[in-house]
Amino acid sequence: MYDVIIIGSGPAGISASIYLKRAQKNICIITDGNSALKKANEIENYYGVETISGEELYDIGIKQAKKLEIPIEKDEVTNISFEENFIVRTVNNEYQAKYVIIATGTNRVAPKVKGLKEFEGKGISYCAICDGFFYKDKDVAVVGSGNYAIHEAETLKPIAKSVTILTNGQKIIENRSTSDFEVDETPIREFRGENVIKEIEFDNNSSKKIEGVFIAVGTASSIDLARKIGAVIKENNIVTNENMQTTVRKLYACGDCTGGLLQVNKAVYEGAIAALDIIKKLNINEN
Ligand SMILES: Cc1cc2nc3c(=O)[nH]c(=O)nc-3n(C[C@H](O)[C@H](O)[C@H](O)COP(=O)(O)OP(=O)(O)OC[C@H]3O[C@@H](n4cnc5c(N)ncnc54)[C@H](O)[C@@H]3O)c2cc1C
């Protein structure tokens, strides 16, 4: 049995694992190997690193964990339950641990629209706070129909020339007002351009000139894992206390899955906080 199982090998999970391993705890990382970080073309806002691709930063994290001889199981977690200890079920195995850290990020759902993949990183982004700066005084659109889409639109508003919310055939489901934005519910047929995105074509044959598109269709698989074991979820984020403990004892969550700032520095910070709290509890043998 492990002291701690960490689900996820992104910045949050790796950060937690480094602190735990250096404190001599018996740990294991389980990951399906898909981090949001791998989608980031260039990261230029992380302390001490001028420019790096997300993929490269992710690989450095994995290398750092391997250097500390932290076991990394490549598998997909399907369920977490608690009997005397946590039981983490994966597609291929079953593991037991005293503590579990969910560091599974958010599941940034993308709409199935022609041209999406083609223009990812060429005018189509998944993160307003990361990439909004590149769209200063430009006409941009946010694709989504929930609170996350409105949040992204609000982030872009002071930067971009115009921000339109495109719900892609969905009804707006928001708690906040959308009155500051043009909202178009017409289904999207295609993203078009030459090298970079230039135009959106709709199902009703109309089109819109555009210089940037932000995808913000949000649900999260981390939420499913937490919800199944009874942890409280609020607005699609796992609720934690100041030590990153969820409402389920000995179950922690950190990184993008707890909401707020979806950035590497916040994920790294929360991973460290979760690890340090668990180390303290393991050291005093808390039951
Ligand atoms: C396009 C883009 C650009 C970005 N640019 C920047 C930037 O410039 N600066 C910045 O600071 N941040 C940026 N970010 C955000 C940054 O990548 C995230 O905030 C960060 O990766 C969050 O770390 P995390 O560890 O919480 O989650 P993630 O990095 O998403 O890692 C989640 C981990 O959980 C694993 N996982 C998920 N579900 C399961 C499961 N069921 N079973 C097993 N494993 C599972 C995944 O394999 C992965 O290892 C960007 C993100 C995107 C998408």
For 228-249, write each residue's pLDDT tens digit: 788 998 877 999 999 999 999 9
Residue 171 has pLDDT above 90, yes or no: no
pTM: 0.75
Q: Whose CA is nearest to atom 1 of ligand 1?
A: 40
**Nearest Cα residue to atom 6 of ligand 1:** 130
Kindly list the protein residues whose Cβ atom lies closer than 6 A to any atom of ligand 1. 7-13, 30-37, 39-40, 43, 45-46, 54, 76-77, 103-105, 108, 125-127, 130, 221, 255-256, 262-265, 267
Check pLDDT > 50 for residue 219. no
255, 266 Cβ separation under 8 angstroms:
yes
* 94 and 227 part of one domain: yes
For residue 64, the model assigns a pLDDT of: 98
Domain end point (choices 217, 246, 262):
217
Residue 131 shares a structural domain with residue 180: yes
Q: Which one of 201, 217, 233 terminates a domain?
A: 217
Nearest to residue 131, comparing CAs of 106, 111, 156? 156
Mutate which of 55, 89, 127 to test ligand 1's pocket (most atoms within 8 Å of Cβ)? 127
Q: How does pLDDT run across 96-114, given as a tens digit for each residue? A: 999 999 999 987 667 889 9
Verify that 93 and 171 share a domain, yes or no. Answer: no
Cβ-proximal residues to 53 (8 Å cutoff; 6+ apart), any chain = 40, 41, 42, 43
- As for how many domains the chain has, the answer is 2
Opening angle at CA 113, ends 107 and 119, nearest 5? 85
Q: How far apart are CA 135 and CA 112, in angstroms?
A: 24
| CA 13 / ligand 1 centre spacing (Å) | 10
Q: Report the C-alpha gap between 132 and 214 in whole angstroms.
A: 9
Name which residue sits closest to atom 27 of ligand 1, judged by CA. Answer: 105
In a shared domain, residues 242 and 122: no
CATH of the domain at 56: 3.50.50.60
Same domain, 132 and 194: yes
How many CA atoms lie within 13 Å of 196's alpha carbon, on the beta-carbon side?
A: 9
274 and 138 assigned to the same domain: no
Asked if residues 192 and 116 have their Cβ atoms less than 8 Å apart, the reply is: no
The protein residue with its alpha carbon nearest to ligand 1, atom 53, reads 36
Atom of ligand 1 lying closest to residue 12 CA: 25
Check whether residue 200 and residue 238 sit in a common domain: no
Are 247 and 276 in the same domain? yes
pLDDT at 216: 82
The residue whose CA is least distant from atom 15 of ligand 1 is 263
**Average pLDDT of the residues in 72-98:** 89
- Among 171, 201, 217, the domain boundary falls at 217
Same domain? 114 vs 144:
yes
Residue 141 belongs to domain spanning:
109-217
